[in-house]
Structure 1
Amino acid sequence: MTSEIIQLIQEQEPQIIEDDIFADEDSSQYLSFVVGEEEFSVNILKVQEIRAWEHTTFLPNSPSYIKGVLNLRGTIVPVMDLRIRFGFKNPEYKPTTAVIILKTVDAERERLMGCIVDAVSDVINVAENDISEKPDFGSSIDSEFIDGIMTVNNSPVTLLNLDALLNLELIAHPFTAQKVSNG
């Protein structure tokens, strides 16, 4: 099933995905994937491609969850292990381990980041009003990387905030997900 999903996404043209989403204005498509034993998702429009796990080129002095870089058809892409970033212990590289190449746009340019996950699950359609706001944990738990929670097949799926997750300031500070103050 996972290889079929990867093949399907790789074969689709971006315009086809956009047309499918706009066909139903009240819903969007999300790529769901497993990290640890938890299911997460990202908006499908933020997915550049999905690749099977391959070793990366090591970057000295990088945080432990930055596994290195990949050469993606001439573009050097940093790769983050979401399992380590989210605090899961002893991640294993199995045949289902994949790298999801995600894109985000900031004021300067479009950026690509590879994210290592345990397995790709599915492409799901979810109505915008079926996504709950992120829980208010108070100040004791950082929910910076969460955009909301959706329910798929009676199971919660966490929708990730890619702008925060792929934020270079937060990546540069591996021990905190708090915003860096200039004061």
Structure 2
Amino acid sequence: MTRTIRCALSLVLTVLSLAATSCGAAPGARASSPAPDFSLPALDGRTVRLSDYAGKNVVLIDFWSTTCDPCLAEMPHLVELYKKHKDRGFVVLAVSLDGPESRAQVSSTVHDREMIFPVLLDEETTVAARYNPKRELPFSVLIGKDGSILHKRGGYQPGDEVVLAQEIERALNE
């Protein structure tokens, strides 16, 4: 391959990468659309609305399931991030996509994983359809203090919590 062709190919790939990032297509890209409000029943019986927190707190909505191994692997990291930042206005809303027949399993998992933040039940997946239409699991949405979506991320690999911690810190400092 000649040097000119390699340079041209490199330039095209760079432009495509920048375009994907600016369009929000890249993982972890910042967006600025307002987060749609919702209300869901919590595992403890109360009703939780996103608007109870959005516009005041930095909120992480985490879609998960008891049958999703990456979700369960990520959960201890979310618990630690919540403990570290809750006094600064950070909230985790863990949205379970398990069906009504799995409520006992959700309760058991919440207890075993020491999930001390609100656990919401999206048994009909209506909220997931608005935020996560591809139904990726886990799937996280970080919402800034102004109520806008700052970051979306699908999946979990060890080490992703470091990037998430940086995003949370940045959002708390804005």
TM-score interval, normalised by the smaller of the two chains: under 0.3
Kindly indicate which of the two structures has a greater share of residues assigned to helix: 2
What TM-score do you get using the length of structure 2 for normalisation? 0.26
If you compute each CA radius of gyration, which structure gives the higher value, 1 or 2?
2
Compare the two structures and name the one with the higher strand fraction: 1
TM-score relative to the length of structure 1:
0.25
